[in-house]
Structure 1
């Protein structure tokens, strides 16, 4: 209390002078042998403890780590089952913490970010067949489906069980992709595909640019105060919403045989054609969408064959269950009107 507020991340790092104060000379020497600890630090002049090699640690190093644990958490490992994080900024600053002031936990749920995680988990399940990956992905997707729609409209955030802020283009694009990725994991049922089709309809109604092609960042009924409605095409910390959205349209065309999706995908690619020509390094997601548009492939196969095929790297492929295949065949590979 009354002290200066620590900078972000201070909870996790150690200055060399702190280590010198907390540890004996022998403990510090052995710690440096086992961890990436130096006088100059390995991250912004401070030290993040990283093991140099695997294997058992010496008793001296274990003692040193125990001292650091107490300095950070204010209790011994035996007496502390779980460490309660700070629930908000005020609690972090005002509560008397026995060790260091912990980082505040940000408890809001963002649809776009969770959707990227769902896609990653779905892909991991397809490759490794670990049921827990699919369980986590479906639980997260079900939460979004059950909690992020208010009066029939999709919402971006959830804070303390309250959905808020109308969804933006990345929320639509990434969640539709997540639903299609889940559909790929369980093609026997159309639950996820039906959700994706319904959400794509809302996406097209409120964010599609009829005049220019592509999707605006914000919906038509949430943009009254904006001077300009932007259309995101650059990949930053997250992929471009339009790149992911256009690839989704091609996938939906393969899943449904509805060529309207393919028409929209073509319009979207044409809308960003000049950007793709002039600064291709800025928009790799649009080139992924172009790859889907040019090389999209539908593989019709049996449920038995599907699992072995799903684990392969087939970047522009959609799977469908075929009730009957030609004798001695693995599946039908279809591009355009040819199989």
Structure 2
């Protein structure tokens, strides 16, 4: 479902729906699928985690593996979380910056870290809990490699090679890097502060490439390429400013070009401007308030191009 939501979100505005179908067909279906998972296949609960040798409660979103006439009891695996986070990030962009999807992506990613992260680097495929009741209150995260545990299994695995589906670690590395780019902390003087997303992405890629060199993991190489571009301040930050309905044509023009090392910020509403003012204060220099004319601005590091005011401007800039 996560991969299908990403496909639908990517098709919106680029692929024409079948004759007689509404123009937003693919986006509508993506939203329906994402909302079904959020409503029927997720559960908010509290778990006890160990940090610095001390136990503390933490709230997580549990994602369930299957649904048939009701939610099953088996918890999702790492790939379920990774694909859903990727889908939510894609849906945030396709929907013109609907922050509910970005906020949910952040929460699901942080839950994934609690349930699957290996402090030596990378994500286990199995959660620390193998199953859950339908209405837990507080659950202690169980080491499921302990066979004495009622939830125990003998082995936790870690997948990095792509097969019919991309590997959960490859997709998760990209999710961490995209979230870092969306929510990176940088002050007005341009001093950047490494986010926990970036630190985990570096550890994941460094550890897994060292332990498992070779071919068969293109998604990991995509993430490594993004990280290289990021370190060279070459990730393109695309800002859409002005009224939401007025920037749709500019956004479609942007989506018609392939920019794999870019991240999109929408500042077309007061809520969005306030959100990114808190999350990425260095970008608010460009947003110019709510009365700015519809435009797209492309920034790399602290340098921004002249605003694109028309579709032709967008194509001319991106085709250079």
Structure 1 length-normalised TM: 0.61
Q: Which has the larger radius of gyration?
A: 1
Q: CA deviation at 1:154?
A: 1.5
Residue 324 of structure 1 is aligned with which of 278, 288, 293? 288
Residue 230 of structure 1 is aligned with which of 140, 157, 161? 157
Alpha-carbon distance between aligned partners in 1 of 2:293 and 2:2, rounded to the nearest angstrom: 40
Distance 1:126 1:245, change over 3 A: farther
Q: After superposition, where does 1:264-279 map in structure 2 within 5 Å?
A: 264-274=200-210, 278-279=213-214
1:293 aligns with 2:227: yes
Contact 1:187 1:320 in 2 (8 A): no
Alpha-carbon distance between aligned partners in 2 of 1:157 and 1:140, rounded to the nearest angstrom: 14
- Provide structure 1 residue ranges, at least 5 long, that are not aligned to the other structure: 1-113
Alpha-carbon distance between aligned partners in 1 of 2:295 and 2:26, rounded to the nearest angstrom: 30
Aligned residues: 222
Map of 1:83 onto structure 2:
none
Residue 122 of structure 2 is aligned with which of 204, 214, 230? 214
Q: CA deviation at 1:329?
A: 7.2
Alpha-carbon distance between aligned partners in 2 of 1:166 and 1:263, rounded to the nearest angstrom: 27
Structure 2 length-normalised TM: 0.64
Higher mean C-alpha deviation, range 293-302 or range 234-243: 293-302
Q: After superposition, where does 1:55-70 map in structure 2 within 5 Å?
A: none
Q: After superposition, where does 1:108-147 map in structure 2 within 5 Å?
A: 114-128=1-15, 130-147=23-40
Contact 2:176 2:200 in 1 (8 A): yes
Map of 2:106 onto structure 1:
197
Map of 2:256 onto structure 1:
311
Task: Let me know the Cα RMSD of the aligned residues.
Answer: 2.3
Q: CA deviation at 1:156?
A: 1.4
- Provide structure 2 residue ranges, at least 5 long, that are not aligned to the other structure: 17-22, 46-61, 131-143, 146-151, 186-194, 230-234, 268-286, 305-320
Q: CA deviation at 1:292?
A: 2.1
Q: CA deviation at 1:221?
A: 2.3
Alpha-carbon distance between aligned partners in 2 of 1:327 and 1:149, rounded to the nearest angstrom: 40
Contact 1:299 1:317 in 2 (8 A): yes
Q: Highest relative contact order (Cα 8 Å, sep 6+), 1 or 2?
A: 2
Alpha-carbon distance between aligned partners in 1 of 2:40 and 2:10, rounded to the nearest angstrom: 24
Q: After superposition, where does 1:77-92 map in structure 2 within 5 Å?
A: none
1:245 aligns with 2:154: no
Alpha-carbon distance between aligned partners in 2 of 1:174 and 1:189, rounded to the nearest angstrom: 19
Map of 1:283 onto structure 2:
217
Contact 1:301 1:332 in 2 (8 A): no
Alpha-carbon distance between aligned partners in 2 of 1:284 and 1:338, rounded to the nearest angstrom: 31
